[in-house]
Structure 1
Amino acid sequence: MQAELNKVVTALQEFYAHETWLLEHDLGERALTHRLAVHLEPQFPGWQVDCDYDRLGERILRLPHGTIVSTDDHLAKSIYPDIVVHQREIPNNLLAIEVRKASNHQPPEHDRHKLRAMTDPHLWFAYWVGVYLVLGRKSVVSDIYVGGVIDGPLSAWLAGRLKEVGLGVG
């Protein structure tokens, strides 16, 4: 998984090298996620990179009833991940990425719950890895989800990699 996360680090380096205007002018998270997806795409040959993707093959992505996240996107609190790296036709789900701006003062629990659900191996659409990114003007805070829970060692590894490339906090 470190190889895939290294690709995310490279995409973040490219994003911060070319998209600082978006951060400086406080554009919305959807604009940020789109531009980050543009930088992710060349890192994953043979995979598709999509934003707000709502399918698994021909099936519509839905969570079991009673969860705190919804498949109703009218409230902008859907289960659809901000960015996915996957193979549409197979289907094969590699990464689910949730992006937040550091200036977003809403509680992060919705995004975290989404990643727990999206990486839960008991659900039919599970992603191998969930990546939670908080984008600041000059740094990134992150967590990694595997098997429906935060993976402490991988989260620490990614934080260290981000620090190595000048995007870490502290």
Structure 2
Amino acid sequence: MNYDLKEIKVKVDVAIGVLFKNDSFLLENGVNERSVSHKLAEYLQQEIPDWNVDCEYNRKGSALKTLERIRECSEERKTDRVFPDIIIHQRNTKINLLVLEIKTKDEDPICDIQKLILFTSDRECKYNFGSFIKFNRAEKPDLKWFKDGEEI
């Protein structure tokens, strides 16, 4: 089944709600971003059972996942290899529904935002949608959405 943006937003909101209900400790205590991503991915899988939900997935088919021009976002980046926080896709195909980048601390999100722009515009990956989620401890998170290489 394919989902439109409205449906995806609802499913992401539900998964975030379950995360807050079941795992608020992680958010309130500043636990590592990967731990939060993992739990959110579990709840997204429950909401979208007909798709694969993966964390830190670094493959494009059998090749390593790369994004041209991602090195430009930071002088510290030495490679075009990328590991999106969460993706919703059909494994071993070019069918990619949603890519999520998450921040749990007050760090500069510039590279995460650039990744979402590239992931939603890149011909090789071409995710239908992207979302940046900034968790603010126990407060409601800030979300930004992307489509066709632009914030919407």
TM-score w.r.t. length of structure 2? 0.87
Higher RCO (C-alpha under 8 Å, 6+ residues apart): 2
Q: Deviations over 1:39-83 (max 9, x none)?
A: 11111121010001111222221122574255849xxxx522100
Distance 1:4 1:71, change over 3 A: farther
**Ranges in structure 1 where 5+ consecutive residues have no aligned partner:** 152-170
The reply to whether residue 82 of structure 1 matches residue 85 of structure 2 is: yes
The reply to whether residue 114 of structure 1 matches residue 115 of structure 2 is: yes
CA distance in 2, matches of 1:21, 1:110: 27
Asked whether the 8 Å contact 1:16–1:138 carries over to 2, the reply is no
Q: Percent identity?
A: 28
Q: Number of residues paired by the alignment?
A: 144
Distance 1:50 1:66, change over 3 A: closer
Find the counterpart in structure 1 of residue 144 from structure 2. 143
Pairwise mapping of residues 158-169 of structure 1 onto structure 2 (< 5 A)? none
Deviation, 1:90, is 2.3
CA distance in 2, matches of 1:91, 1:124: 8
CA distance in 1, matches of 2:41, 2:70: 31
Secondary structure of residue in 1 paired with 2:72: coil
CA distance in 1, matches of 2:72, 2:38: 25
TM-score w.r.t. length of structure 1? 0.78
**Ranges in structure 2 where 5+ consecutive residues have no aligned partner:** none
Pairwise mapping of residues 1-170 of structure 1 onto structure 2 (< 5 A)? 1-64=5-68, 67-68=71-72, 72=79, 79-101=82-104, 104-120=105-121, 122-136=122-136, 137-151=138-152
Runs of 4+, deviation exceeding 4 Å: 69-73
CA distance in 2, matches of 1:79, 1:41: 22
Give the superposed CA RMSD. Answer: 1.9
